[in-house]
Structure formats: C-alpha cells, structure tokens
C-alpha cells in the first residue's frame, strides 16, 4: 500500500521546534510575521550563517528565542545598541532587529533615531500592536488618540508617533508599513531589506486580540484581518507626513521611502581616507560586507 508523503512546512526548519508551544495567543499577529520572515529568508537566498536576529523584551521580543538562527534576546529597549555593536564588530553580518513598538520607540526611542540618523546598516522590523502587550496592555507612544488601554481607561489623549514619518525624518534609507493581512507584500519588503544596504525600517500593524482589540471592541484576530483588509489603502511613495494612524481611520500601507545614502561605515571610511591620506590602510574590517 502506498504511503502518503509527509508534507514539509517550509517554515519549520527556521524554528526551534523544541521550544514549541510558543507563548503567542490565538489571533496574535506575531507568528504570521515570523512565517513571512522565514519565507523572505528563502526568497532572498541570504546566507543564513550571516544572519543575526536581535530582539528586545515583550511578546514581540520572543521572536529571537523561537528562530533557529543566531539570535540574541537582549534587555528592554536596548536591541538597537546591541545590534549596533554586533554589526560594527562583524561587518559581514545581516543584523535584523525584531521588536515591539514599545521597546523600540518608548524606552528605546533615542537609540533608534540615532541609528537612522547615522544610516547604520541595520534592518528593523517593528511589530506595532499599539500597546505594551506583555505587561498587560498599557498605553504606548503608538496608541491612537481615544483608544482604550489599561492606563487610559477613558481613552488615550496623547498624540501618537507616526513611525514612518519619524524614521524618514531621522534619515532611514528604507521605510515601509504593512499589516499582518498583507503577507505577500510584507514578505517581499522583508526580502528587499535583507538585500539593501543602510538603515531599513518596516512597521507591521499586528493584532493583540487579548488586550487591544477586546478592550476596544474590535473583535478577535479574524475580525482584525477583515478590518485591516477594509481599511488599508496601498500608497507606495506617499509622503510619510500623510500616513499617521488613527483609531478608526484608513491605514495607509506601502513602501514610502527607498533611497540611497552613504551608510555609517562608508562615511567613516571616507573621513579616515581624507584625514590620513597616504597613511590610510585598507583593512578587512573597513571593507568587508
């Protein structure tokens, strides 16, 4: 009797299966993004021995622990400084920071703007669930005005960051936004940034049904997919000042910025060459990719 060929999930080799089950709850968007990332690694054909993942703390920060790649689960807010050190110590690495909106833009806010300003060759994937999820659903710098959180029971009244605009203004070479509904576009964007040099930033709107969607009466994970589908408008190249998020408004998605700018290393190398003239010695540390 013929036996059925086992179906191999292409994403499975990228996961530390011994750590399953994961902590993410049903309807949470973080797993969807990991799936997209694994597919982007396959699509871009990047050398997996040269990929390093750095996460901060939060539900999103768990990504580093579940991916079967060289990965570092660092302290809260310090994923970018850690990634900076890693990249500058080993220029041949593709350093990918995977973290939450709170980790990257609240406690870690100053690090990310300076990394963008310097155009460090880092790839930042920001999972934006609009709150601090792991600690119980508090207001984050991304929480839309009027949204309910545990620390804003009458509605958030602080203006939220427009993350693409902030990263664009700070000098990022690549800026995009997708939602967990846009799996193909997101996979393509991830694949693009793995091949692009310079500071690259992707914001991904992702549901936290347990803490954000439920409190704001937005339903479960599936309802959020429908919501993302209905509200999203693809506008590649849109000026980032025109893409702020609001509680119930349209979600502008797409690739907003893709520019060439000398990265940190090129600028440093040029400066050394100019200063040292003939005394400048080409070293592997300065040229390696």
The window from 95-103, 159-167, 231-239, 247-255 that contacts ligand TPP (CB under 6 A) reads 95-103
- Residue 281 near residue 200 (C-beta atoms within 8 A): no
Query: Could you say whether residue 103 binds ligand TPP (CB under 6 A)?
Result: yes
Is 143 within 8 Å of 137 (Cβ atoms)? no
Q: Tell which one of 14, 15, 28, 263 touches ligand SF4 (CB under 6 A).
A: 28
**126 scored as a contact of ligand SF4 (CB under 6 A):** no
Smallest distance, Å, CB 206 to ligand SF4? 7
- Tell me: does residue 196 bind ligand SF4 (CB under 6 A): no
74 binds ligand SF4 (CB under 6 A): no
Choose among 244, 223, 69: nearest CA to 141.
244
Q: Which is nearer to ligand TPP, 82 or 264 (CB)?
A: 82
The yes or no reply on residue 203 touching ligand TPP (CB under 6 A) is no
CB of 101 closer than 8 Å to CB of 109: no
- Cα separation, 49 vs 68, whole angstroms: 11
Spatial distance between the Cα atoms of 133 and 59, rounded to a whole number of angstroms: 7
DSSP 3-state assignment of 286? Answer: helix
Q: Is 25 in the site for ligand SF4 (CB under 6 A)?
A: yes
Least distance from ligand TPP to the Cβ atom of residue 284, Å = 36
Judge if the upstream peptide bond of residue 65 is cis by omega within 30 degrees of 0.
no
Per-residue CA distances from 8 to 13, 16, 62, 67, 133 (Å)? 9, 15, 24, 17, 32
Of positions 122, 208, 225, 243, contacts ligand SF4 by CB under 6 A: 208
x/- binding map, residues 29-58, to ligand TPP, per CB under 6 A? ----------------------------xx
- Which range binds ligand TPP by CB under 6 A, 133-141, 169-177, 265-273, 276-284? 133-141
Least separation in angstroms between residue 142's CB and ligand TPP is 8
Q: Which part of the chain contacts ligand SF4 (CB under 6 A), choosing from 127-135, 140-148, 152-160, 262-270?
A: 127-135
Beta carbons of 181 and 232 less than 8 angstroms apart:
yes
The residues that bridge with 128 in the sheet, in sequence order, are 205
Nearer of residues 30 and 34 to ligand SF4, judged by Cβ = 30
Give percent helix, percent strand, percent coil of the chain, each to the nearest 5: 40, 20, 40
Q: 222 is in the binding site of which of ligand SF4, ligand TPP, none (Cβ under 5 to 8 A by kind)?
A: none
DSSP string covering 25-60: PTT-SHHHHHHHHHHHHHHHT--GGGEEEEE-SSTG
Whole-number Å distance between alpha carbons of 246 and 13:
38
Looking at 211, 225, 238, 251, which residue binds ligand SF4 (CB under 6 A)? 211
Binding site for ligand SF4 (CB under 6 A): 23-25, 28, 30, 59, 129, 133-134, 208-211
Binding site for ligand TPP (CB under 6 A): 57-60, 76, 100-103, 127, 129, 131-135, 140
């Amino acid at each position: 009797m013929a036996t059925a060929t086992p179906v191999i999930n292409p994403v499975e080799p990228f996961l530390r299966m011994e750590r399953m089950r994961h902590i993410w709850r049903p309807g949470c968007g973080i797993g969807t993004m990991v799936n997209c990332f694994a597919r982007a690694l396959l699509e871009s054909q990047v050398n997996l021995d040269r990929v390093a993942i750095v996460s901060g703390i939060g539900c999103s920060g768990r990504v580093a622990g579940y991916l079967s790649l060289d990965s570092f689960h660092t302290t809260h807010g310090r994923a970018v400084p850690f990634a900076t050190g890693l990249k500058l110590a080993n220029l041949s690495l593709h350093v990918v920071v995977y973290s939450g909106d709170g980790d990257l833009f609240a406690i870690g806010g100053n690090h990310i703007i300076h990394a963008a300003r310097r155009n460090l060759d880092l790839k930042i994937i920001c999972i934006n669930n609009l709150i601090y999820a792991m600690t119980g659903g508090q207001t984050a710098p991304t929480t839309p005005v009027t949204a309910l959180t545990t620390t804003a029971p009458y509605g958030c009244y602080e203006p939220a960051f427009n993350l693409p605009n902030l990263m664009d203004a700070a000098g990022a070479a690549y800026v995009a936004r997708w939602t967990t509904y846009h799996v193909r576009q997101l996979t393509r964007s991830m694949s693009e940034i793995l091949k692009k040099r310079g500071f690259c930033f992707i914001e991904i709107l992702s549901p936290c049904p347990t803490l954000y969607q439920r409190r704001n009466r937005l339903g479960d994970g599936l309802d959020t997919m429908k919501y993302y589908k209905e509200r999203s408008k693809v506008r590649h190249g849109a000026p980032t000042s025109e893409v702020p998020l609001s509680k119930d408004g349209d979600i502008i998605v797409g690739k907003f910025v893709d520019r060439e700018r000398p990265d940190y290393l090129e600028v440093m190398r040029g400066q050394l060459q100019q200063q040292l003239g003939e005394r400048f010695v080409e070293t592997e540390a300065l040229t390696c990719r």
